[in-house]
């Protein structure tokens, strides 16, 4: 068994690689893993240190069709995590998001088709649906993205589905909510708030703080992806729902409590442009295949906070590099 993980040095991709290599998924026991990653600002080989030597690494771009034609053949499963994913960055400059999240997906799908890869998984996001006031989306909900990031992800999903319908490519799509856990680049809300609070800094809270997100540990997200990789139907979409639906105010309070800080450390900032109010996924379809989350939010958040407390060596250089680049 050979598994190619594109974007495998990023936050969620590296979680998946660590899980496969460490034997967390019995069906993939002993699999040879290839990681393809461009190592942009959010890609970091240090994310894979716990399984160093357990995978082959290729430094490259998913938009490079020639490289994909060399790398993809011979793999039994391809899981595509490669994506630009920060909404604020997409609002400021959308071009790279369209390039990686749409053109990159097309290049991967074509390479998989040419190589006859038996199983492909396109990893996506709940943000492609826009915003929902009440209830939860099922997989038949219409796509209505509201940011350049989510629009690009929706475009990539449509490309993947087109390859399934037109060419019979055995690709399934997963969509998940907000992830948290170790090795998350510190521009995202949980590591940003945790590391700022550890350093005695303030944390930014958008608008009225009433935006609602459904949180899931990256390890549970990867368990859902694995179920789809093993048992998902080609051309189908599968939701991986979170385990804690919280407003940003509620999340902020939990992080303040975890770090022993008060609301005087919170700085109210203008709301993000086009800020989606609420996301919520119905994952009945995936649970019917045997999926169930294993990480309770309270436990996962506590472990995540402790990880950042213990791993200044990992996140401090990243924050300094980002500050120096401004």
Residues designated as active site: 126-127, 149
Residue with tokens 């009433």: 210
DSSP strands (E only) in the chain: 2-6, 32-37, 56-59, 77-80, 119-125, 171-176, 178-180, 203-206, 212-217, 237-240, 244-247, 266-269
Query: The tokens of 175 are what?
Result: 């969509």
User: Is 187 within 8 Å of 322 (Cβ atoms)?
Assistant: yes
Q: Characterize the bridge pairing of strands 2-6 and 77-80.
A: parallel
Taken as a whole, the chain contains a residue count of 326
| Number of alpha carbons in the 13 Å side-chain half-sphere of residue 195 | 24
Helix axes 218-231, 11-22, angle to 10 degrees: 70
Secondary structure element (H or E) that encloses residue 307, with its range: helix 297-310
Secondary structure element (H or E) that encloses residue 65, with its range: helix 65-71
């Amino acid at each position: 068994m050979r598994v190619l993980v594109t974007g495998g040095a990023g936050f969620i991709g590296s979680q998946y690689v660590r899980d496969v290599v460490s034997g967390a998924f019995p069906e993939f026991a002993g699999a040879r893993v290839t990681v393809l990653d461009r190592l942009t600002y959010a890609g970091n080989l240090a994310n894979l240190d716990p399984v160093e030597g357990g995978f082959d690494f290729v430094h490259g771009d998913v938009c490079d069709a020639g490289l994909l034609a060399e790398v993809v053949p011979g793999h039994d499963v391809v899981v595509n995590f490669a994506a630009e994913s920060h909404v604020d960055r997409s609002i400021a400059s959308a071009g790279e998001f369209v390039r990686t999240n749409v053109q990159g997906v097309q290049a991967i799908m074509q390479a998989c088709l040419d190589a006859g890869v038996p199983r492909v998984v396109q990893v996506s996001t709940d943000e492609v649906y826009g915003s929902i006031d009440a209830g939860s989306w099922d997989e038949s909900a219409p796509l209505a993205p509201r940011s350049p990031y989510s629009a690009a992800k929706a475009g990539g999903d449509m490309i993947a589905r087109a390859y399934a319908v037109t060419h019979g490519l055995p690709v399934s799509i997963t969509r998940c909510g907000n992830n948290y856990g170790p090795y998350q680049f510190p521009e995202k809300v949980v590591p940003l708030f945790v590391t700022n609070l550890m350093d005695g800094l303030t944390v930014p809270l958008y608008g009225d703080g009433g935006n609602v997100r459904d949180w899931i540990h990256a390890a549970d997200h990867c368990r859902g992806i694995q179920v789809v990789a093993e048992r998902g139907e080609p051309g189908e979409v599968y939701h991986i729902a979170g385990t804690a639906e919280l407003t940003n105010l509620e999340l902020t309070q939990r992080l303040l409590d975890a770090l022993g800080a008060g609301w005087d450390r919170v700085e109210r900032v203008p709301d993000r442009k086009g800020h989606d109010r609420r996301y919520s996924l119905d994952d009945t379809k995936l649970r019917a295949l045997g999926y169930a989350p294993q990480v309770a939010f309270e436990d996962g958040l506590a472990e995540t906070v402790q990880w950042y407390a213990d791993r200044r060596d990992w996140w401090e250089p990243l924050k300094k590099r980002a500050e120096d680049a401004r």
